[in-house]
């Protein structure tokens, strides 16, 4: 029953509504980023650990990170295409 209400909702939503939702999420993300205190991030690792990690990072790690990001984006697109 819920599946049909979701597909019915996606058929009734217009492009203007979709653009408004996306812009609203972007504005909210920017505001939240500005409002939150992110200074704790630099205390997660010491400088020596950061340098050691960056020196050991190679192209294979970059390739794996890119593949993970591609899979996540693909899953998101798949879910969105099924809902629309």
Instruction: Kindly report, residue by residue over 47-58, the tens digit of the pLDDT.
Output: 888 888 888 888
Q: Report d(CA 79, CA 75) in Å as an integer.
A: 6
User: What average pLDDT does range 39-46 have in this prediction?
Assistant: 81
- Would you say 83 and 6 are in contact if contact means Cβ atoms under 8 Å apart? yes
Between residues 6 and 61, the one the model is more confident about: 61
pTM > 0.85: no
Domains of the chain by residue range: 1-36, 43-84
Max alpha carbon distance in the chain (Å)? 56
């Amino acid at each position: 029953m819920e599946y049909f209400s979701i597909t019915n909702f996606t058929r009734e939503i217009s492009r203007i509504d979709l653009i408004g939702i996306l812009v609203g999420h972007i504005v909210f993300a920017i505001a939240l980023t500005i409002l939150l205190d992110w200074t704790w991030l630099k205390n997660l690792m010491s400088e020596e650990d950061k340098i050691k990690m960056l020196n050991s990072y190679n192209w294979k790690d970059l390739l794996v990170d890119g593949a993970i990001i591609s899979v996540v984006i693909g899953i998101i697109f798949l879910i969105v295409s099924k809902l629309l």
